Structure 1
Amino acid sequence: MSNVIYQAQPPLEFIPPKFNPLFLGAVHLLLPSWISWQTAITQIEADNIEVLVDLYRQFQAGKIRFMLAFRHPKIDDPFCLTYLFSQLVPRVAREQGTVLQSPIHAHFIYDRGIPLWAGSYVGWVASRIGATPIQRGKADWTGLRSARDLFANGKFPMAAAPEGGTNGLSEKVSPLEPGIAQLGFWCAEDLHKDNRAEQVFIVPVGIKYSYVDTPWRAIAGLLSELEAASGLQINSANQGNIPCLESLYPRLLTLAEHLLALMEKFYTRFYHQNLPDVKTEISDRNEALAVRLQALLNTALQIPEQYFDLQANGKLSDRCRRVEQAAWNYMFREDFKDVKALSPVEKALGDRVAEEANARMWHMRLVESFVVVSGNYIREKPTLERFAETTLILWQMIARIKGDQTSQRPQLGKQQVKMTIGEPISVSERYPTYKKNRLGARQAVADLTNDLQQVMEELI
């Protein structure tokens, strides 16, 4: 990771999918043990699997093409889906007497940036299971062509997260990106041009995590660590309380307010930003937190936007993607394709630019963690899961501030996963509107994205 951060690099290369059935077989064989060893997940189950069994039956019969659009609260989601393909779908198919060809799998679309922080081996593994990468912040025509070809002609259906990234919240869907809908219409267009009769569908998949037991003591311990790390004075009277939501929620609010105050002071003093003072205008602590947080996120994102000369247009998630791509353009340089041909001075100046770009991107990463966080997530539904998720997001924030990128996210307790297969959404039925004209195409993509958003929220 250090080379990526502090040194200018040649442009990011596309990692072509090189599906290897023997490698996938090994992955399917070892997956249950790996999940048990490397994650907190002890149980994975799914509803409406028979819908997916029928979709795979029709796909293998050459009648349909489809993409699974899955919720993306955690980095464990692809493992859960692969377990669904390798274990649950074949089991239900056998029970129904439905004959499916093996393996049951999908071509995943993944963010090209993942191998940068997770390790280059991830790109190698993803390639061998037939996944295809895409750079999210620009028109990555190579990545889009690969995904488009796989959708229309691949051996398996597609799978992608329309939210674009994890948000850490099982019961909050981030605003969906339009890429999934666009790929669906491109697939319908390609089939139409080739006089193929397959119908195209997008299949929403909900993924929700819950704790097997109630790890309030672990949450209380993590809260104490975060309070100490942020310099917050600990009220010793609180330490004797039996950990529960009622006793911990005031501590969480106080921690959030304290961290906000620190960050407001940070951006006001050292980046000369003006932040609204709402602490005395809004009496409700949750509402005040929500207003202050949104103001802080907007301010933090303006720092890299000003540096990269970007317009602050659109949703926070869209602005984050543009900042990320601008930083990558400074780090992965077209004019650095032949690094050995550069003079030492040219190379040193390139490294300086890469280092500064990474420093600016730090502000975006901070914002990225809070894009869908509100001050009312716990209050509107006070559950263990929501409290734990919010606490973990604050942990991630403090870890980013400390520059601690090596620590794994704390495991507060064993978890179980519930996936729900939604009803397929027909892209083919909407294709006549899409192909009318450019305005119709834009409206069709927007309508499909909005409908998918609503369905995915209902699956929660």
Structure 2
Amino acid sequence: MTQAQPSLEFIPPAYNPLVWQAAKRILPLWLGYNHDIVDVKIDNSTELIRLYEEFQQGKTRFMLAFRHPAVTDPPCIAQLFWNQLPQIAKQQDVKLKSPVHLHFIYDRGIPLWAGDKVGWIISKLGSTPIRRGALDRVGLRSIRDLFVNGDFPMAAAPEGATNGHNEVVSPIEPGIAQFGFWCQEDLIKVGREEAVAIAPLGIRYFYKTAPWQYLEQLLSNLEVDSGFKQTPAETMGLTNGITLSPSQEADLYGRMYALAEYLLSLMEEFYSKFYQQKISTSEGELSSRLPALLDAALKVAEQSFAVKPNGNISDRCRRVEQAAWNRIYREDLDKLTELAPAVRGLADLVASEAELRLWHMRLVETFVSVTGHYVAEKYTVERLADTVLLLWKMVAKLKGESNIKPPYLGKKWVQLTAMPSLQIADYWEQYQNNRRQAVSDMTQDLQQSLEQSILE
């Protein structure tokens, strides 16, 4: 973004049944063609069917709280609800009225990088946006209204953003629990007696065939593109779908770890040399060095926007993003086209500088959940792929690429796991006495439920 833009307006949810019908038909093909996802499976479907039936009967309002490892999570959940859950319900002698759908809560930034067409489709599917880095009163009012009066249940990702890990749940935000309590309050105010529930949903991706050969090739490409090696390494002779020997496992992991350490050293030097960030380079394990690097990168962005480094990494990222948006999407300038050329030039300069500083925050955002021992503690092809793809994402950023399709690693299937719902009624008395503690307790219970949902 090199030019100042008009202020970011709220995109009202405007469900259109014709758009939903078209999306419902296209979705399975789109998942397979664009994202190599060939199957979506659900464990404990009875829980979701019961909740949805009670919703349609006017007995329950609920919000689906789903894990968020990848950008394909909402489409996979839509595939389940639009095309599969009605058929599964029918097999269980439950008749769900069409359409079986959800009001998704999405980050207002998605249409900025995905495009206006995607923003239009999301709106016409009845989804509602929220700006995470600011007090978005309009967005919050829309969510509260849909939770109480919407034609469909709600759906949101309590982690707030994708983390690129199949088997790591990021610290979840308290907003989901608060929405539940607000919904209960709003129902009581108008004399309605529906129960309110939060429905945790786990999600994991698995490869149909273990892509060992593809992963080795991708690693080889990354080694060269990053400057770690001058020429591609000699092939290890791995074959997709063939279990690795212990020595092959060790060699492949060693190459990945060595590349990660090289990239870490490269970025430590970059931030020390060009941004005067004090980082103890090349000392200690990757797991201890990475947080120091992320902190330094985030400070570069924070200092440029005069944002104080308060809270956890995710909180800091959101505040930096909002500060950048304030400089790009100008609420203080009514008509950009009518500005004097010199004034417009200054506005464009501020916007382009803000976009450059956002690069540092995006880098941090990519690695916010990386621990340094994710693969070592449990060596699976999915965990290795998660990590290599994060390294690919980093190298792509360093190369100046953006919004590019991830490299092909083979066909995947998705496992969704519905966990027992959390009932607001079970926390209501506590909420009446101590609202903050009730929200905290329910958030912790939701965290534990989501973590349980991705265990073997």
Provide the rounded CA distance (Å) in 2 between the counterparts of 1:173 and 1:179. 16
Q: What letter corresponds to residue 444 of structure 1 in structure 2?
A: A
Whether 2:340 is the aligned partner of 1:343: answer yes
Provide the rounded CA distance (Å) in 1 between the counterparts of 2:233 and 2:71. 37
Match of 1:14 in 2: 10
Match of 2:164 in 1: 168
Which deviates the most, 238-247 or 269-278? 238-247
Q: What letter corresponds to residue 108 of structure 1 in structure 2?
A: F
Match of 1:263 in 2: 267
State the SS of the aligned residue for 2:147. helix
Provide the rounded CA distance (Å) in 2 between the counterparts of 1:73 and 1:168. 5
State the SS of the aligned residue for 1:7. coil
Task: Measure how far apart 1:14 and its partner are.
Answer: 0.5
Provide the rounded CA distance (Å) in 2 between the counterparts of 1:242 and 1:205. 35
**Structure 1 spans left out of the alignment, 5+ residues:** 283-287
Task: Measure how far apart 1:239 and its partner are.
Answer: 2.8
Q: What letter corresponds to residue 151 of structure 2 in structure 1?
A: K
Match of 1:383 in 2: 380
Q: What letter corresponds to residue 350 of structure 1 in structure 2?
A: A
Match of 1:431 in 2: 428
Match of 2:181 in 1: 185
Q: Is the 8 A contact 1:278 1:291 kept in 2?
A: no
Q: What letter corresponds to residue 329 of structure 1 in structure 2?
A: N
Count of aligned pairs between the two proteins? 446
Whether 2:227 is the aligned partner of 1:231: answer yes
Provide the rounded CA distance (Å) in 2 between the counterparts of 1:64 and 1:240. 56
Q: Is the 8 A contact 1:241 1:247 kept in 2?
A: no
23, 45, 52: which is aligned to 1:49? 45
Q: Is the 8 A contact 2:265 2:281 kept in 1?
A: no
Match of 2:126 in 1: 130
Task: Measure how far apart 1:431 and its partner are.
Answer: 2.1
Written as runs of structure 1 = structure 2, the 5 A alignment for 1:198-217 is: 198-217=194-213
Task: Measure how far apart 1:237 and its partner are.
Answer: 7.2
Q: Is the 8 A contact 1:71 1:162 kept in 2?
A: yes
Match of 2:450 in 1: 456
Provide the rounded CA distance (Å) in 1 between the counterparts of 2:178 and 2:342. 44
Q: Is the 8 A contact 2:213 2:237 kept in 1?
A: no
Q: What letter corresponds to residue 456 of structure 1 in structure 2?
A: L
Q: Deviations over 1:36-83 (max 9, x none)?
A: 221111111101111111111111111110000001111111111111
Written as runs of structure 1 = structure 2, the 5 A alignment for 1:384-399 is: 384-399=381-396
Whether 2:445 is the aligned partner of 1:445: answer no
Match of 1:99 in 2: 95
Match of 2:258 in 1: 254
Whether 2:350 is the aligned partner of 1:353: answer yes
Provide the rounded CA distance (Å) in 1 between the counterparts of 2:44 and 2:436. 32
Written as runs of structure 1 = structure 2, the 5 A alignment for 1:2-41 is: 5-41=1-37
Provide the rounded CA distance (Å) in 2 between the counterparts of 1:217 and 1:242. 5
Whether 2:54 is the aligned partner of 1:58: answer yes
**Structure 2 spans left out of the alignment, 5+ residues:** none
**TM-score normalised according to structure 1 size:** 0.95
Alpha-carbon RMSD across the aligned residues, in angstroms, is 1.4
Provide the rounded CA distance (Å) in 2 between the counterparts of 1:339 and 1:194. 44
Match of 1:285 in 2: none
Task: Measure how far apart 1:433 and its partner are.
Answer: 2.1
**TM-score normalised according to structure 2 size:** 0.95
Provide the rounded CA distance (Å) in 1 between the counterparts of 2:232 and 2:144. 59
Task: Measure how far apart 1:236 and its partner are.
Answer: 7.5
Task: Measure how far apart 1:179 and its partner are.
Answer: 1.2
59, 77, 84: which is aligned to 1:81? 77
Runs of 4+ in 1 over 2 A off after TM superposition: 233-247
Match of 1:300 in 2: 297
State the SS of the aligned residue for 1:260. helix
Match of 1:323 in 2: 320
409, 412, 436: which is aligned to 1:412? 409
